[in-house]
Chain A
Amino acid sequence: MFGAVIIPWISIVATVYQKGSKAFYWGYLTTDMRVTASGDALEFGGVLHAIVGTLILVLIASIISVPLGISAAIYVVEIKGRFASTVRFFTQAMSGVPSIVAGLFIYSTICVFFGGFSAWAGALAYTILMLPTVARTSEEVLKLVPDELRAASYALGASQARTVFQVVLPTIATGLVTSAILGIARVAGETAPLLLTASYFVATSRNVNEPIASLPIYIFSSLGLGDANATTRAWGGSLVLLIVVFVLFSIARGLSARLSRK
């Protein structure tokens, strides 16, 4: 059992490290591909634009989906509103949406009508995928709060809103951060939703109205170039992406361990 889990994992990490580390040089993380052709030597070019692009996409997606996801969880667990079961059903259904469909949906609604590919559109496609993860994990975290705390708050003459915002949410603050990070980790490696939305751009850009680079698309487009050095760069991008996701999961695990100790 242990081997079945660990062997594929080690072989993936080892392959990505072995092939990806060849792309690394002192400027790999600090330069982009604006003046580098696909066949150029590995001392040129880098992934800076893809890292910046991924961070921007994830940031916008988080700003939208974290408050929305937590609100949905509050509605289901705390308010137990009339549509609670409907909201829960759609959250679950949404988490099953294939990522290419999320991208296609944003393409057909946003890109077609608002001037083509843009970072905005990519972030919205990410949001569709991130929202259900944040909503469901926040829901689980909210359920961890013992009812005694809510009762204590109500007995002190608190309204439901005050109870939620001043007692329940502060108690599980680390758990909510964890749910946000799990949502980010869910989307950070997604390629399909960006193909038809954020597309790709070789220079480091912070303009959200233009196409923007991202790590998955950097890998995808580098591989498509067919050149040996471009392929090595794709492996380098994979290694960076793997490290980013690994760091995010580590933070999430660390925070949830702290939460469960309380």
Chain B
Amino acid sequence: METPNLETKEVINSNIQMEPTVMNDTTRRNADNLEVKGESGLETRGVHAWFDKHHALADVSLHFPENTVTGLIGPSGCGKSTFLRLLNRMHEFIPKAAMAGQVLFEGNDIYADDVNAIDMRRRIGMVFQKPNPFPAMNIGENVVAGLKLSKIKSANKDEVIEDCLTRAGLWNEVKDRLKSPGGSLSGGQQQRLCIARSLALKPDVLLLDEPCSALDPGSTLRVEETIVQLSESMTIVIVTHNMQQAARVSDYCAFFLSDGGPGHLVEADLTTNIFSNPKDTRTADYVQGRFG
């Protein structure tokens, strides 16, 4: 709807940018950068989000190619977490929240009437900012909680527990105390337990909402290693405030910004381009730490 008028800024940009000729239409260029390849992966087309009357996010079109990591970056309040929650319909749990546009998963709109949001969420997993293991369950039970909650019968739960904890990089640390409560682990271990819990459902996409913001540097590094390993077999979208983290783990980066109005996508590109050669000065300012 309200596409921000970038023209005055573009003029300034063109003096700095290396490719001034293609700076006319930021939105279209973004879509071109992350070109849609058939019906694979996850894609949004012109999504908007509202909280009651507050227009939080405007007209975001992005494609997340299969088996890649995309970092969503931008200052606080730019709508990137809102955008992430639109990708598996967690947005609709917020009272008075509304959305418009399409989110295509393997070519089908997940907001279509015939889509069962519950089934869809099993394929598009999510890990939250604050580690949230279930307090009434022990470590092992936490890992297979998703199977229990979605009534999936699993013949060999022990195998699932070991496999998921191994992939989340936690197995060696907890294999001797699977019966202890999830809350007895450190923050970083809890977060990897939450990742393992998501993996048990064998999702195709994993959404991570600032997964390391509550963790110490060592734990952060362990989670990042886990993310990179997982991206070999699944599509990952990660919201982060940490530029180094975005540079370390992501293949693509999307920069969001709110200049008073609703948050919108400024540009999306290969992570190397975003950091070394951004097309928009605001992106350059942000990734170099000049604001936000």
- A166 and B136 CA atoms in complex are apart in Å by 9
B194 at the interface (CB under 8 A from A): yes
Known: A148-B130, A163-B149. A157 touches B136 (CB 8 A): no
The minimal Cβ–Cβ distance linking B92 to chain A, given in whole angstroms, is 10
Q: Across the interface, do B130 and A156 meet the contact criterion of CB distance under 8 Å? A: no
B136, A156: Cβ atoms under 8 Å? no
Is B237 in contact with chain A by the CB < 8 A criterion? Answer: no
Q: Is A260 part of the contact surface with B, judged by Cβ < 8 Å?
A: no
- Please classify how large the interface on chain A is, using the bins under 10, 10 to 19, 20 to 34, 35 or more: 20 to 34
**Cβ contact within 8 Å between A166 and B132:** no
**B201 contacts which of A150, A156, A166, A262 (Cβ < 8 Å)?**
A156
Distance of A147 Cα from B8 Cα, bound (Å): 43
**Interface residue ranges of A125-162 to B (CB < 8 Å):** 146, 148-159, 162
Q: Which single member of A149, A156, A163, A167 contacts B125 (CB below 8 Å)?
A: A156
Contacts of B150 in A (CB 8 A): 156-158, 162
A148-B132, A152-B132 known; A166-B88 Cβ under 8 A: no
Assess the B197–A154 pair: CB atoms within 8 A: no
Q: Do the beta carbons of A156 and B146 come within 8 Å of each other?
A: yes
Interface string of A219-262 (1 = CB under 8 A from B): 00000000000000000000000000000000000000000001
- Quick check: is A171 within 8 A (CB to CB) of the other chain? yes
Are A156 and B90 touching (Cβ within 8 A)? no
Collect the chain B residues with CB atoms within 8 Å of residue A173's CB.
Answer: 136
Q: Are B194 and A152 in contact (CB under 8 A)?
A: yes
Instruction: Using CB atoms, name the residue of chain B closest to A163.
Output: B149
Residues of A contacting B80 with CB < 8 Å? none
B122 contacts A157, C-beta separation under 8 Å: yes
The CA of A151 and the CA of B94, in the complex, are separated in Å by 10
* Interfacial chain B residues near A148, Cβ < 8 Å: 128, 130, 132
A167-B126 in contact given A156-B201, A157-B119 (Cβ < 8 Å): no
Which residues between 253 and 268 of chain B lie within 8 Å of chain A, taking CB atoms? none
- Residues of chain B within 8 A (CB-CB) of A162 are 149-151
**Which chain A residue lies CB-closest to B145?**
A156
- Least CB distance, A120 to chain B, in whole angstroms: 36
Cα(A148)–Cα(B90), bound, Å:
12
Q: How far is the CA of A166 from the CA of B148 in the complex (A)?
A: 9
Instruction: Kindly list 12 other residue pairs between chains A and B, CB separation below 8 angstroms, not including A149-B132, A156-B150, A156-B198.
Output: A148-B128, A149-B135, A151-B90, A151-B132, A152-B134, A154-B93, A156-B146, A156-B201, A157-B120, A159-B118, A162-B149, A167-B134
Question: Hey, which bits of chain B sit against chain A, CB under 8 A?
Answer: 88, 90, 93, 118-122, 125-126, 128, 130, 132, 134-137, 145-146, 148-151, 183, 194, 197-198, 201
Residues of A participating in the B interface, judged by any CB pair closer than 8 Å: 146, 148-159, 162-163, 166-167, 170-171, 173, 262
